[in-house]
Structure 1
Amino acid sequence: MAQQAYMTETDNGGSGPEPRGNRLRRLFDRLLGGWRSDPRIWRRGLFVAACAVLLAVIMLLHSRIPNTIGNLGSLTETFLPWLGLLVPVLLVLALVRKSAIALIAVVVPSVVWLNLFGGQLTDKTADGGDLTVATHNVNADNPDPAGTARDVAASGADVLALEELTAEAVPTYEKALASTYRYHSVQGTVGVWSKYPLSDVRDVDLDMGWTRAMRATVTAPAGQVAVYVAHLPSVRVKMEAGFTARQRDRSADFLGEAIAQEPLKNVVLLGDLNGTMNDRALNAVTSQMRSTQGAAGNGFGFSWPASFPMARIDQIMVKGLKPESSWTLPRTGSDHLPIAARVKVATSGS
C-alpha cells in the first residue's frame, strides 16, 4: 500500500523522484512539440531534401556518370563508399532546420548506401582454405626494403607478390625472402615469391613499353594455380585535366584479355591496380573475377594511402578459387598497406 501511495503522489506532481520513463517521454514531447505546432515543417529544408535526393541518385546511378569530362565517373566510383559520410551531415541539417520533408528525404540515400555497401559492414571471414596469398606495393622509395620483406613474409603467405620493385632493391628482397620462399621470379618491376614450385613464368604485355605484369603457374599441394601479378599505371587528379587514367584503363583492358585467355581453371590476380572494384574502367578484369575482400573480408579493407587508407586500390581477385578470408596487414615502409587472403583451390572434380 505504501508503494502504491508513493506512485500516485508522484504521478500527480508530488515531490518524489520522477520515473525515468516519464522523464524521457517529457523530453521527447518537448523536442517534437515545436515541430507539431509549426506548420512550416513541410515547407522548410527543401534545399537539404534536394541534396539528399541528389546524393541518392549519384550513388544509385554512379555508372551513368560520364567519363568524357575528366573521368569524373571513375573518380566518383573510386571514393564511392565515402559519400555515405554526407548522410549524417544532411541528417543534422534536417534536424536543425526542423524540416520533416528533409528528414524523410535523408532516408533515401541511407537506404541506397546500405544496399551498395551494407554487406561490407559484416564479417564474412571463415576458417578453411588451403592457399594463403599476399600482395604489396613496396614503393620504389621504400627506406627499409629488408624490413618490409620480413614484415610481409611474417604474414604466413604461401605466395607473395611484390610490385614497384627497383633494380637496386631486388637483391635486398631476394636475400630477405630466401629463407621463407624457395622459388621466385622477378619480371620487370613485379615479382612473385612462392613456397611451391613455379613454372610457365612469363611477362604479360600491358602496352606500356616495359614490364609491369607477369604470370606464373604455382603447383600447390591442392592443385595448380595461375598467378598473375600486375601494377597498372598510376592515375592523377589534375585541375586542368581532372582524373587522368587513360593509360591505366588501356592497360586494364590488356590485362583482362590475358586473364580471359588463361587455360587453367584456378586463377588469382595479385597487385596494385590503381583502381577499386567499383571503377567501371577496370571492367575487363572485374567482370570475370571477384574480390576476396568483398566475398570473404571484414570491412572495406582500404589499402591506400597507408597513413590514412581511403581506397582499396590493391587487389586480390580470384576465378575458380573460393575465398575464405581476406585482410590487410600492418603498415610497412611503403605508402600502401599489404593485403592477404586465404582461398580454397578448386579441384578438377569440384
Structure 2
Amino acid sequence: MLVAALLAFPAVVPNSVGNLGSLLETFLPWAGLAVPALLCLALLRRSVLATVSLVLPAAVWAMVFGGRALPADREAAGDLTVLQHNVGEENPDHEGTALALARAGADLIALEELTPAVRPFYEDVLASGHPHRAVVGTVGLWSRFPLADARPVDIRPADVGPDWNRGMRVTARTPQGDVAVYVAHLPSIRIRPSDGFGSGRRDESAAALGAAVASETLDRVVLLGDLNGTLDDRGLVPLTSRMVSARRGFGFSWPATLPLARIDHVMTRTAVPVAAWTLPATGSDHLPLIARVDL
C-alpha cells in the first residue's frame, strides 16, 4: 500500500527536509522494483493475501509509467529533428563526439559544457552540415537553417556571478516558419549529508527559465537542455507546466555508463514532440538525446 501511494502521490513526501520529495521523484520509475522484491517476500511467507495485494502497486506503476515503458517510435515523422547533448567537460574525445553528433541527421544540435577549449572541435566538424550557429557562454546551437536574434537568457541563481552564462534564446527560421529555440544548462545537484538533495539552485534557475518561456512572443518554442532534473521532479514544474515532452520511452540519459535518470530534455510549446530516444554513448557522462518535433 505504501509503495502504491508513493507511486501515485509522490508529492506527499515534503521537500522541507533535505528535498526528499524531489529525490524520490528523480528516481520514481525505479520504485517499481519494490514490487518483485515484495513478491519474493510474499512467496517466502507463502502469503496469498500479500501476493494478491501486489496487484495494486503493479497496476499503479503501469498507469503512471506504462506509456513511457513503450519504446519510442524512431520512424515517426516530424517537421524538425533536434538533438540535445551535454558534451562533458571531462570528455576525452571531443572530436569523436562531434563526428557522432554530425552523423545523427539532426536539423538542430544543442550543446552544453561547451568550454572555449573544446569549442573549436565542434565548430570544425559541424560547420559543413550545420553552417549556422549561435553560442552564449557554455551553451550553443548549430543549425541547418538560418538563426537570428540570439541572446543570453539570465537563469543565474542569486548567489552566482555574472560570468555564469548557461542559457540562450535564438530564432530558427525553419521552412515551417520561425521557432524560438532555448538552450539551457541548469545547475547541477549534489547529494550531501548536510543538506540532502541539493536542488535549490537548480529550482531557482528552472523558475527563471520558466518565466522566460512564459514571456516568449513566438508561439512555437523548443527547449533543449540539460535540466538536471526529471519530468516527475517538482522542481521543474515551472517548465513542465508550460511545455510538453515526448512520453514514450524512458530515455534515461545519465550517467552514460548506467543510465538511471532522464535529465536531458526536449520540450515544446505549440508543437508536438512525437518521439525522443537516446543515442549511443560518446565520451561524455551524458547520452545524446534526439527527438522529432511536429510543428
TM-score (norm 1): 0.81
- Structure 1 residue 116 and structure 2 residue 70: aligned? no
Q: Distance in 2 between matches of 1:173 and 1:239?
A: 38
Contact 2:72/2:277 (8 A) holds in 1: no
Correspondence for 2:82 among 102, 121, 133:
133
Across the aligned residues of Structure 1 and Structure 2, the Cα RMSD in angstroms comes to 1.1
In the alignment, structure 1 residue 245 sits paired with structure 2 residue 216: no
CA deviation map 1:126-157 (0-9, x unaligned): 53211100010000111111110110111100
SS in 2 for 1:318: strand
Secondary structure at the counterpart of residue 148 of structure 1: helix
CA distance in 2, matches of 1:181, 1:195: 5
Shift of 1:278: 0.1
> Is the contact made by 2:107 and 2:145 (CA closer than 8 Å) also made in structure 1?
yes
| Distance in 1 (alpha carbons) for counterparts of 2:275 and 2:156 | 33
TM-score (norm 2): 0.96
1:217 counterpart (165, 171, 175) = 171
Q: Helix, strand or coil for the counterpart of 1:337?
A: coil
Which of these residues, 36, 55, 76, is aligned with residue 24 of structure 2?
Answer: 76
* Partner of residue 226, structure 2: 272
Q: Which amino acid aligns with 1:116?
A: V
Task: Measure, in 2, the Cα distance between the counterparts of 1:122 and 1:174.
Answer: 36
Compute the displacement of 1:176 (Å): 1.4
Q: How does 1:227-246 map to 2 (within 5 A)?
A: 227-246=181-200
- Tell me which amino acid in the other structure corresponds to 1:137: N
C-alpha separation in 2, matches of 1:147 and 1:340: 18
* Aligned-partner SS, 1:218: strand
Aligned to 1:191: 140
Relative distance call for 1:324 and 1:60 in structure 2 (3 A) is: closer
Q: Which moved more, 1:115-124 or 1:180-189?
A: 115-124
1:148 aligns with 2:97: yes
State the percentage of identical aligned residues: 54
Deviation per CA, 1:224-252: give whole Å up to 9, x if none: 11100000000011122210010000000
Deviations 1:308-342 (A, max 9, x none): 00000000001111222211111100000000111
Matched residue, 2:214: 260
Q: Which residue identity lines up with residue 303 of structure 1 in the other structure?
A: S
1:201 to 145, 150, 153: 150
Structure 2: distance between partners of 1:274 and 1:323: 20
What is the one-letter code of the residue matched to 1:203? Answer: P
TM-superposed deviation, 1:112? 1.1
| Aligned positions, number | 289
SS of structure 2 residue aligned to 1:171: helix
Pairing 1:286-297 to 2, within 5 Å after superposition: 286-292=240-246, 294=247, 297=248
Give 1 or 2: higher strand fraction. Answer: 2
- Aligned equivalent of 2:40: 92
Specify which of 246, 266, 280 is matched with residue 316 of structure 1.
266
C-alpha deviation, 1:124, in angstroms: 5.3
Q: Which has the higher helix share?
A: 1
Write the distance in 2 (CA, Å) between the matches of 1:211 and 1:75. 26
Match of 1:32 in 2: none
The answer for unaligned runs of 5 or more in structure 1 is 1-52, 346-350
Residue aligned with 1:215, SS = strand
